[in-house]
Every structure is written in C-alpha cells, then in structure tokens.
Amino acid sequence: MSKYLVNGGFRLCGSAELQGAKNSALPILAASLMCGGESVIFNCPRLSDVSAAANILRYLGCSVRREGDAVLVNCDAVCREDIPDSLMREMRGSVIFLGALLSRNGRAVMTFPGGCDLGPRPIDLHLKALKSLGAQIKERYGVIECSAPNGLSGAKIALSFPSVGATENIILAASTAKGTTTLTNAAREPEIVDLCEFLNKAGAKIYGAGEGVIVIDGVKSLSGVNHTVIPDRIVAATLMSAAAATGSQLVLEGVIQSHLNAVISVFEESGCYIKCEMGKMLIKPPERLSAMPMIRTMPYPGFPTDAQAVLMSAACLGKGTSVFVENIFENRYKHVGELLRLGADIRVENKVAVVNGREKLYAAEVEARDLRGAAALVVAALAAEGESEISGIEYLERGYEDFELLLSSLGAKVKRI
Ligand code: EPZ
C-alpha cells in the first residue's frame, strides 16, 4: 500500500502543465486494436490504467512501447480473442476492449469488468447495443462471450442513458460494421469527440460526435495514425480545487476552457477569479471560498461526476453550506467518511451530501477507496494543518501522473512513501 505524507496548511504557487486525459487515452488504445500498421498516441499519460490497457494489448499480440510522452502501438499480429480475468480486473475501463476486439476478430471473450467500486457497474447497455449490431452474446459464470461470425451490421440504436462506455463501444463496433449506424442519446463527453477524431483520421466515417446523435457509416478497414490526446479536464478540476482549498493563485497550462464550463462557473460563483486565454487558466481564489451553488452531477456538458469529490474537499473550507447531488453513480461518497476524520462537517442522505464549511481542517490518517476519492483526500490534506497520512495511493496513481512531483513543483509539502 503506497502512502502520501502531506504537510498541509500552506499556500501553493506557480504553474502546472495538464497531463493527457486518462478517459481519452484508454478508448483510443482500444481503438488502435482495429487499425492496421502503427498508431502513435502522443500526450499519453503515464498511469497504471494506461499500463493495464497496454498489458491487454500485448496479451492480444500487439506490440506496445513508450517513447517519451508517446505510446506506439502495432496490432498487426493480434492472435487472441480473449482477455483473462487477471487483466480485466486491473481496470474498470477494460470493457472498452469488447467493441474493438469483436469488430477486429468477429469474436471476443472476457470476464465482467472489475475496477473502482462506485456501486454496481453494469454493462447491460453495452451488451444490448452490440446485440442490435448483430453480435451473439452468451454470459455465464461471469464470462461474456460475444461473436459475430458474419460480421456486424449497422443499426438504429437509442441509449436509455447516455453511457460513456456504451457510446464508445458502439462507436468502435459500428466503425467497421456493414452499413450505417445511428446512435441517439449518445454521451457527449470531450473524450468521445477525441476518440472519434482518432477513428476518423484512421479512415472511419463518424459524424456528430459531441452531439446527442452520432451517425457511423461502416468502412472496410482502419489504418494506424498519429494522434495527440486532449488534456485531462478532471485533473484540471482537481488542481482548481487544490487552489481554492488552500487560497492559492495557480496557473494551469494546456487547458481547453470549453471542457470545463460547468466547473469554472461553480468556482466563479464561489468567489474565484478565473481567466482563460491561449490554453492557460489563471485561478485566483478569495481568502476564503464562499459556499458553492448546488452541484448536481450530470452527463456532459453538465457538472462531471468525476469532479464531485475534489470540489467537495474545497467546499469543506467554504463559508456556509454547499449541497451536492450525485446522480450518476450509486456509491460515490466513500471519501466523505475520511473527510470527516480531517474535521469536515458533511452529512449524506442517499444521493445528497450537505457540506457545512469550516474555518480549518486538521491533519489525520485517512484511507482512499477509489480514484477520485483519493484525489479529494489529497486536496483536503493540502489545506489541513499538520501532517496527514493518506493510504491507498495506488487508487490515485490510476489517474494522476506523478502527482506528488506535480504538487511539489507548486510548493506543496508531499512525500510518497
Ligand atoms: C466513464 O465510466 C469514465 N471512465 C468514468 O470515469 C466516469 O465517471 C463515467 O464515464 C461518467 O462520466 C472511463 O472513461 C474509463 P457510464 P463508464 O457508462 O463508461 C450506468 C474516473 O474517475 N450504466 O457513463 O463506466 C453506470 O452504472 C472514472 O476516471 C448502466 O447502468 O460510465 C453508472 O451509474 C470513474 N449500464 C452510469 O450508467 C451500462 O451498461 C454512468 O456510467 C453502463 C452504465
């Protein structure tokens, strides 16, 4: 179990370059499985989730190597159709390989995904959609067996919920299906737009990414491309929360402002001055944050569920009461119990968390239980007076590249043990 020792209560200062987006790099690595020749993915973050995806590609027979900030993938020698449980368990996002493997081989076998426990992580929407594209699916003893011996055929698919993963799996499977697929109520996250840009460069014909309706004209084959992953908007929200929680002025570089509108407006309404230009964001929080407006997590472009935990940490020090409603996942308040140990005043009732801001938080020993909860504990510990010990840092390292180095470069007193 790796830990952080955080000596908090100090201001941060300086500027930080945003890493590439984890939730864009993962589906793009899966998409490279469908491309002939070599794909070069630039700005690919060094994360354990990315290593897990690389291990899956290698197991399937691909060559994967890193050169600086780029990952080079060649999947010409794919020789397997299954992903073993040990590899599936390393990362929740591994279900994203289902659509790519099925369209590449006409068959895919994998176990139900593991990963962060944010509540039951069903994949019913994925499977229902793949069936409408012509896949036969057998599920037994936790193993999913998909086959499409005659290939996949385009279909009209309406998602009952704009699931990010299901949208990605449908786009991957439909890209080389016969005929046209029309997907309505598609997820609109920027990471989906990035995936579609990669696929269209590879020869796919995908229209409307980022809108609610996506049309995919199936093509025969895709070829490897060079692509630069978009910046990670959730890491940006995390650093903004650290700035607000510690009353520090920070500059973030490599920001795409339009990806952060919902987050920016919350911080502005809580008294922060935020200026974005030429890919740089200046955030200047007030001496003490005001209470945040009600935060309801919603599919993009609504407030992102992945930013709920880190903003809650900032709200713990605000003036007044902030209310959070977690609409996306059933069990995404596991950080609350640990924030209470740092002196926060939070009450949770089902989907609603009520945060009464306090003047100060105080160091404690806390334990992370999921990726964004871990980030929230780091943000809170940076503001808490004294030395906090945060265990479960392996969760953090799934999504944050060299985070203790990045925070130290901003003047934080963080040690990884
Ligand atoms: C993606 O997860 C992200 N992961 C998550 O980020 C993110 O929180 C989530 O989208 C929402 O934005 C990756 O991109 C690798 P969903 P995903 O399918 O695809 C239910 C992080 O912290 N659902 O949009 O799993 C599901 O249970 C991670 O970086 C079904 O019921 O999210 C959840 O309640 C955490 N049936 C809701 O929909 C399905 O078939 C949203 O899930 C699929 C999903």
Atom 39 of ligand 1, nearest CA residue: 123
Beta-strand runs (E) in 68-224: 70-74, 82-83, 107-111, 136-140, 143-147, 156-158, 180-184, 205-207, 214-217, 222-223
Residue 276 falls in the annotated catalytic set:
no
pLDDT at 115: 46
Instruction: Using alpha carbons, list the distances in angstroms from residue 217 to 12, 181, 204, 275.
Output: 49, 6, 8, 40
Partners of 6 in the beta sheet?
A: 388, 414
CA–CA separation, 316 and 298 (whole Å): 22
Average pLDDT over residues 201-229: 97
Whether 189 and 164 have beta carbons less than 8 Å apart is answered as yes
With a cut of 90, say whether residue 113 has pLDDT above it. no
Q: Please check the confidence at residue 7 and state whether its pLDDT lies above 90.
A: yes
Q: DSSP letters of 48-77?
A: HHHHHHHHHHHHHT-EEEEETTEEEEE-TT
| Residue in 35, 62, 116, 196 annotated catalytic | 116
| Residue 340 alpha carbon to ligand 1 centre in Å | 27
CA-atom Rg of the chain in angstroms: 21
Atom of ligand 1 nearest to the CA of 329: 34
Question: Of 297, 33, 281, whose CA–CA distance to 168 is shortest?
Answer: 33
Helix (H) or strand (E) holding 295: strand 295-296
Cβ of 373 below 6 Å from ligand 1: no
C-beta separation of 45 from 401 below 8 A: yes
What atom in ligand 1 is closest to the CA of residue 161?
A: 38
User: Is 0.85 surpassed by the pTM of this model?
Assistant: yes
CB of 186 shorter than 6 A to ligand 1: no
Q: Quote the CA–CA distance of 370 and 391 in Å, as a whole number.
A: 11
Share the mean pLDDT of the chain. 96
Per-residue model confidence as pLDDT tens digits over 120-158? 668 999 999 999 999 999 988 889 999 998 999 999 999
Residue 250 has pLDDT above 70, yes or no: yes
Q: Is the pLDDT of residue 116 over 60?
A: no
